[in-house]
Amino acid sequence: MNDKGGTGLIALILAVTLIPFFLLLVLVMGIQGEQDRQNGTSCLGPGTGLGSGDRLAPMGSFIKPVDPSTVTFTSGFGPRWGSQHQGIDLAGAIGTPIYASADGVVRNAGPASGFGQWVVLDHVIDGQLTSTVYGHIDTYSVAVGEQVRAGQQIATLGNRGESTGPHLHWEIWHGGWGSVAVDPLPYYDSALAPGEASAGPSMPVPSTPPDGSLAQPLPPSAGSEQGLQVDAKKLARAAHLRFGDRISSIGGWRADGGYATDHTEGRAVDLMIPNYRSGDGVSLGDEITDYVLANAEFFNVEYVTWRQTYYPVGGAPSLMEDRGSETQNHFDHVHISVRGQGTDETLVSWGTLPGGSGNATTMAADCLISGVGIGDSLADGTVPEEFAPWIERAGSICPQIKPSLLAAQLAAENGFRHGDSAPVSVTGAMGPAQFMPGTWASYGRDYDGDGRVDVNSIGDAVMAQGHYMCTIAATIDSAIADGTVSAPHGRTELYLAGYNAGEGAVLNSGGFPTGHTDYVVQTRPYADKIIAAEPQYRAMSHQ
């Protein structure tokens, strides 16, 4: 009886003493949260802010992914154990915080073959799409599509996957993940530590890999510089440094110039694309075209020709006449014509390999909204004007699906027909994006705000198309990360196959769908046609 009374008295004292304390603590935390929002952190995803131990850096910063005092550099970029080590290894204790190196959007987060678990971030740095990869992580606190800030904690260091000990494997990819991996060590060495204040102007992130001098002649194994003028030599050397053995060979001067004199004058370079009919081959040609046009002034470029499309510097791309063969139509190589500058090299300043991918636009100054500022924009006049704003909007939902891809897909699906001019197909597919009734029931929304959910409406259909394609991309990317699906010819053809045949067909086949005649006579031509047509809808940006 007395014990119970004593216990009740103690409880009463504790309640009277501690409740005001906790109320005060909650009030302080609320004020701090409001201050965080006023300081521009309201655009961050779940689990961010000072309360979670994040070290937010000023907008536009590039920082080390870990506190350098907690890790040890153990392995560099380059050949290792019979394969290419695409990043650097930083050994430390399991649970060590890992931070986003720059503002960006989460491209991948979760299980990954080889890494066990990973996070991949997409950033726009100096107008260039760049991805950072964080591998072998123990835990992660971000989700695909989430926007993150430099210095925000995104994961913890681990020992998962094919690992010889606890460490962070960190990669940097110019042009986005899967494009061009570069040595991260110069970036790591020059970047500030998380939370470290700059003593002066921020140190610029290295824009090119080391050893990017263009004074070094093209190696004979890559191609010949015979007969080339200075600008063409510079371009050929840069292409070799930038793309390496991804290009099967580099051609230039020849006695027979064919349709023009630029080859006979030594002002043209042909970059031959291996497996040019595949998704990977088309992607490489697109990447080369973007890079050359982005640096057209540096290389003195006049025009580029790729996949029967003519890209004049400073002008709009245009489809060329059919010349009769894949080589003459430039399907197996990218042709670049330069001004030349003669053959006298005595006063030439060769310079170093320039950066820039050509497609990325500048990141928003306040908050990066998922997808915005990363996708391509449409080339003027390539789609009906009533479609253009909706395609641009739908192409900014996720970084994998660009406006130019959606435009090429709409052209293939129903030729931009809509309303009464968009008949129902024999299979029951409807509207500009040819949705089947069951899929439309899941993705159809009143995006144009007219009070109706209309499969024949441009706004409703195109936005639904974008959302569905992004869902397919996320599903397939996750399957690739966990090793159940492979994409030897690039991911885009799998996204398109998922739209045409259903993502289940891709997952069940472990890649491009097989096992049914429809996949051969319908899905394969569908994907190939859209991938081939996509470049003509893409606006080129020139620096």
Residue the block writes with tokens 């008949």: 423
Residue ending a domain, among 339, 355, 371, is 355
Same structural domain for residues 266 and 180? no
Same structural domain for residues 327 and 436? no
Same structural domain for residues 350 and 482? no
In this structure, are residues 57 and 141 in contact, taking their beta carbons and an 8 Å threshold? Answer: no
- Judged against a pLDDT cut of 60, whether residue 36 lies above it is answered with no
Residue ending a domain, among 355, 378, 396, is 355
- Judged against a pLDDT cut of 60, whether residue 33 lies above it is answered with no
- Inside any domain, residue 118: yes
Burial of 96 (0-12, 13-18, 19+ CB in 10 A): buried
**133-147, 365-379, 382-396: which range is least confident on average?**
365-379
In this structure, are residues 271 and 288 in contact, taking their beta carbons and an 8 Å threshold? Answer: yes
Task: State how far Cα 443 lies from the chain centre.
Answer: 25
In the chain, % helix, strand, coil (3-state, to 5) comes to: 35, 20, 50
Residue the block writes with tokens 């993940």: 177
- Inside any domain, residue 36: no
Which residues pair with residue 131 across a beta bridge?
A: 122, 173
Same structural domain for residues 64 and 162? yes
- Comparing 343 with 509, which gets the higher pLDDT? 509
pLDDT of residue 257: 55
- Judged against a pLDDT cut of 70, whether residue 417 lies above it is answered with yes
pLDDT average, residue stretch 461-482: 91
- Comparing 203 with 502, which gets the higher pLDDT? 502
Same structural domain for residues 398 and 531? yes
Share of the chain above pLDDT 70, in %: 78
377 confidence band (pLDDT: 50, 70, 90): confident
311-325 confidence digits (pLDDT tens): 899 888 887 887 878
pLDDT average, residue stretch 144-158: 87
Tell me the average pLDDT of the chain.
Answer: 78
pLDDT of residue 300: 93
Same structural domain for residues 235 and 176? no
pLDDT of residue 426: 59
The CATH number assigned to the domain holding 121 equals: 2.70.70.10
422 confidence band (pLDDT: 50, 70, 90): low
357 confidence band (pLDDT: 50, 70, 90): very low
Contacts of 279-283 with C-beta under 8 Å, sequence gap 24+, read: 279/487, 279/489, 279/490, 279/491, 279/492, 279/493, 279/527, 279/531, 280/488, 280/489, 280/490, 281/489, 282/307, 282/490, 282/531, 282/532, 283/490, 283/492
- Judged against a pLDDT cut of 50, whether residue 243 lies above it is answered with yes
- Inside any domain, residue 366: no
27 confidence band (pLDDT: 50, 70, 90): very low
- Inside any domain, residue 203: no
pLDDT of residue 51: 29
- Inside any domain, residue 93: yes
pTM score, two decimals? Answer: 0.39
In 3D space, the residue among 103, 99, 97 whose CA is nearest the CA of residue 40 turns out to be 103
Length of the chain: 543
Same structural domain for residues 85 and 133? yes
Same structural domain for residues 433 and 528? yes
Q: How far apart are CA 120 and CA 106, in angstroms?
A: 6
Domain holding 183, by residue range, is: 54-190
Torsion of CA 456, 457, 460, 463, to 10 degrees: 90
78-105 confidence digits (pLDDT tens): 887 777 888 999 999 999 999 999 888 8
Same structural domain for residues 351 and 397? no
- Inside any domain, residue 13: no
Number of Cβ within 10 Å of residue 24's Cβ equals 10
pLDDT of residue 385: 92
- Judged against a pLDDT cut of 80, whether residue 256 lies above it is answered with no
The CATH number assigned to the domain holding 446 equals: 1.10.530.10
Residue ending a domain, among 190, 220, 243, is 190
369 confidence band (pLDDT: 50, 70, 90): very low
pLDDT of residue 510: 93
Alpha helices (H) along 303-446: 388-394, 403-414, 437-443
Same structural domain for residues 303 and 443? no
pLDDT average, residue stretch 510-515: 92
pLDDT of residue 204: 41
Our count of domains for the chain comes to: 3
**209-223, 382-396, 429-443, 457-471: which range is least confident on average?**
209-223
283-304 confidence digits (pLDDT tens): 788 889 888 998 899 999 999 9
In 3D space, the residue among 103, 92, 16 whose CA is nearest the CA of residue 59 turns out to be 103
pLDDT of residue 59: 61
Same structural domain for residues 63 and 156? yes
Same structural domain for residues 419 and 350? no
- Amino acid sitting at position 384: P
- Inside any domain, residue 34: no
127 confidence band (pLDDT: 50, 70, 90): low
356 confidence band (pLDDT: 50, 70, 90): low
404-416 confidence digits (pLDDT tens): 899 999 999 889 9
- Inside any domain, residue 499: yes
- Judged against a pLDDT cut of 70, whether residue 42 lies above it is answered with no
Q: In degrees rounded to 5, what are phi and psi of residue 15?
A: -65, -45
